[in-house]
Amino acid sequence: MATDFKSLLPVIDISPLLVKCDDSHMMEDAAVAEVVEKLDRACRDVGFFYLIGHGISEGLMKKVKEMTHQFFELPYEEKLKIKITPAAGYRGYQRIGLNFTGGKQDMHEAIDCYKEFKREKYGDTGKILEGPNQWPEDPQEYKELMEEYIKLCTDLSRNVLRGISLALGGSPYEFEGKMAGDPFWIVRILGYPGVNQENHIGCGAHTDYGLLSLINQDDDKTALQVRNLAGDWIPVIPIPGSFICNIGDMLKILSNGEYESTLHRVINNSPRYRVCVGFFYETNFDAMVEPLDIFKEKYPGNKTCQENKKVVYGEHLVNKLKTTFANLVEHS
């Protein structure tokens, strides 16, 4: 059963897997097999882990956060130039309190971005997300930096998922091809004001929606919390240069419930402003997601998941958007 942990999340050095990630016999390498074993333990016990040795430079990760701080420090009117609206495909800047989780306002502001796609590519389901991303003009190099960063995070996520696919007992490629050969992605650029007496929930308890999340958070504040089976909230103390990785709802379904998407929330108790950039690697937007045959065979005991779960990823995302932005109307 997942989420049975007490304190520190596991730390996984993924570098041996990255060296061999294009070799279909990667599991024959002892160092790769060791990484895969660690991924299995982490995904089974916690659903969250620190990722190190991932090949994205600490300099780039820092620059992304520094520029994000610069953006959120701009005057409100300036930020509103890229305001999120339904007409803009729910892409762009949202003020503090616009995002709802579990029916409550979240104390964060954000820029939401989604992979861009051709109009009508995903029919009626995809329509509400159509539109180009809205990048700020200030800081000037932000768009370019983020596009480079997104490319690196996409490649890294695919490779980490090869390890997770092996960890579940599949080939390295169970989360590619039909399911995620054309992976959708989400980027949330998040800013959390320093501690505030009234409501200090930066982001309420939720699970992430897709396959794998890569969280790049400020090094000097602890705000993210992960819930274990006992119901305790475990703080995720930052490790500089690491990503926090966690499993999303689609991976839970595809794995036939063998791995779970773990609940987490954010409370910035520091007096200082915190930023975090979340990259969310998802299945294909139009994938019909249900437990994979191979994992139904391997884990036949997991009946609840098999019986209840079958969802088109894009519909899952759009449903989440509708509750998250129930207050967002054209003229707000």
Ligand X SMILES: N=C(N)NCCCC[C@H](N)C(=O)O
Ligand Y SMILES: O=C(O)CCC(=O)C(=O)O
Query: Of 137, 151, 148, nearest to 185 (Cα)?
Result: 151
Residue 209 contacts ligand X per CB under 6 A: yes
**Four-point Cα dihedral 49, 167, 279, 66, nearest 10:** 40
The amino acid at residue 150 is I
In eight-state DSSP terms, residue 83 is B
Looking at the Cβ atoms of 296 and 309, the one nearer to ligand X is: 309
Stretch 169-188 residues interacting with ligand X (CB under 6 A): 186, 188
By CB under 6 A, the count of residues binding ligand X is 13
Q: Give the shortest CB-68-to-ligand Y separation in angstroms.
A: 12
Residue 203 contacts ligand X per CB under 6 A: yes
Q: Give the shortest CB-206-to-Fe ion separation in angstroms.
A: 6
Residue 218 contacts ligand Y per CB under 6 A: no
**CA 92, CA 132: separation in Å to the nearest integer?**
10
Q: Give the shortest CB-204-to-ligand X separation in angstroms.
A: 7
Alpha helices in the chain (DSSP H): 15-20, 30-45, 58-73, 76-79, 123-127, 142-167, 177-180, 249-254, 293-298, 303-308, 313-324
Among 93, 280, 281, 313, binds ligand X (CB under 6 A): 280
As given in the structure block, the two tokens for residue 115 are: 């992979």
Report angle CA 252, 126, 181 to the nearest 5 degrees: 50
β-strand pairing of 233-235 with 224-227: antiparallel
Among 45, 130, 174, 208, binds ligand X (CB under 6 A): 208
Residue 217 contacts ligand Y per CB under 6 A: yes
As given in the structure block, the two tokens for residue 190 are: 């998040």
Stretch 173-202 residues interacting with ligand Y (CB under 6 A): 188, 190
Residue 208 contacts ligand Y per CB under 6 A: yes
As given in the structure block, the two tokens for residue 22 are: 């294009």
Choose from Fe ion, ligand Y, ligand X, none: what does 266 bind? Cβ within 5-8 Å by kind: ligand Y
The H or E element spanning position 114 is strand 109-114
Looking at the Cβ atoms of 109 and 130, the one nearer to Fe ion is: 109
Taking CA atoms, 207 is separated from 6, 48, 63, 223, 264, in Å, by 19, 11, 27, 16, 7
**CA 40, CA 44: separation in Å to the nearest integer?**
6
Window of 52-60, 139-147, 200-208, 225-233 that interacts with Fe ion by CB under 5 A: 200-208
Q: Give the shortest CB-295-to-ligand X separation in angstroms.
A: 23
**CA 160, CA 178: separation in Å to the nearest integer?**
18
Looking at the Cβ atoms of 56 and 186, the one nearer to ligand X is: 186
As given in the structure block, the two tokens for residue 283 are: 């299945």
Choose from ligand X, Fe ion, ligand Y, none: what does 276 bind? Cβ within 5-8 Å by kind: ligand Y
Among 40, 45, 112, 208, binds Fe ion (CB under 5 A): 208
Q: Give the shortest CB-87-to-ligand Y separation in angstroms.
A: 23
Residue 321 contacts ligand Y per CB under 6 A: no
Looking at the Cβ atoms of 208 and 282, the one nearer to Fe ion is: 208
Residue 75, helix vs strand vs coil? coil
Stretch 55-114 residues interacting with ligand X (CB under 6 A): 99-101
- Name the residues that contact ligand X, by CB under 6 A: 99-101, 186, 188, 203, 206, 208-209, 280, 320, 323-324
- Name the residues that contact Fe ion, by CB under 5 A: 208
